[in-house]
């Protein structure tokens, strides 16, 4: 079964990835403490949806980011060393720090992080870990189980 959601494009890109879902806020600083070239296991013990799971190369589906003002730089640095998510999909409006990190990664690294926000709560309620996510340039996000 396939569902299509429409959001706002923050960082353009077209990719097809597996979903990794967090129903709570994503703390970038706490989540990327194990970030090494090509790998990252989420280290945020306060996020039971993601703790201990790899966040590299997945479509990270979340409501919003939380935490300190370093969040954007953490995302950018993750892209520099290749341990970044493959895409960021927000049910809510993206915060300026996460947007800055994703935009900087797209401009200054070869590891673009396509980012779409304002997908709505229905998106976050529907998507599950392991579902296939196709992101289109126009902000459409196609979820297939």
pLDDT tens-place string over residues 79-103:
999 999 999 999 999 999 999 999 9
pTM reported for the whole predicted model: 0.96
Reply yes or no on whether the pLDDT at 24 is more than 90.
Answer: yes
Residue 34: band (very low, low, confident or very high) from pLDDT cuts 50, 70, 90: confident
The span from the CA of 114 to the CA of 11, in Å, is 5
Q: Is 15 helix (H, G, I), strand (E, B) or coil?
A: strand
Cβ pair 58, 41 in contact under 8 A: no
Cβ pair 55, 35 in contact under 8 A: no
Residue 67: band (very low, low, confident or very high) from pLDDT cuts 50, 70, 90: confident
Give me the helix-helix angle, 71-81 and 96-108, nearest 10°. Answer: 30
Residue with tokens 């799971």: 53
User: How much is the average pLDDT of 55-69?
Assistant: 94
Residue 111: band (very low, low, confident or very high) from pLDDT cuts 50, 70, 90: very high
| CB neighbourhood size of 104 (10 A) | 19
Q: What is the pLDDT of residue 99?
A: 97
Cβ pair 33, 70 in contact under 8 A: no
The span from the CA of 119 to the CA of 96, in Å, is 17
Reply yes or no on whether the pLDDT at 38 is more than 90.
Answer: no
Q: What is the pLDDT of residue 20?
A: 98
Residue with tokens 């990835």: 17
Reply yes or no on whether the pLDDT at 120 is more than 90.
Answer: yes
- Count Cβ atoms within 10 A of the Cβ of residue 7 and give its class: 0-12 exposed, 13-18 middle, 19 or more buried: buried
pLDDT tens per residue across span 47-56: 999 999 999 9
The span from the CA of 140 to the CA of 38, in Å, is 28
């Amino acid at each position: 079964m396939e569902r299509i959601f429409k959001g706002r494009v923050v960082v353009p890109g077209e990719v097809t990835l597996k979903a990794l879902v967090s129903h709570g806020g994503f703390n970038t600083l706490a989540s990327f403490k194990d970030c090494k070239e090509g790998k990252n296991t989420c280290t945020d013990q306060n996020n039971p949806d993601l703790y201990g799971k790899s966040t590299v190369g997945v479509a990270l589906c979340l409501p919003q980011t939380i935490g300190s003002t370093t969040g954007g730089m953490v995302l950018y640095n993750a892209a520099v060393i290749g341990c970044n998510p493959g895409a960021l999909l927000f049910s809510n409006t993206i915060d300026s720090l996460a947007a800055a990190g994703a935009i900087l990664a797209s401009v200054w690294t070869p590891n673009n992080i396509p980012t779409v926000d304002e997908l709505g709560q229905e998106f976050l309620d529907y998507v599950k870990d392991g579902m296939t996510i196709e992101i289109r340039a126009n902000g459409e996000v196609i979820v297939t189980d």
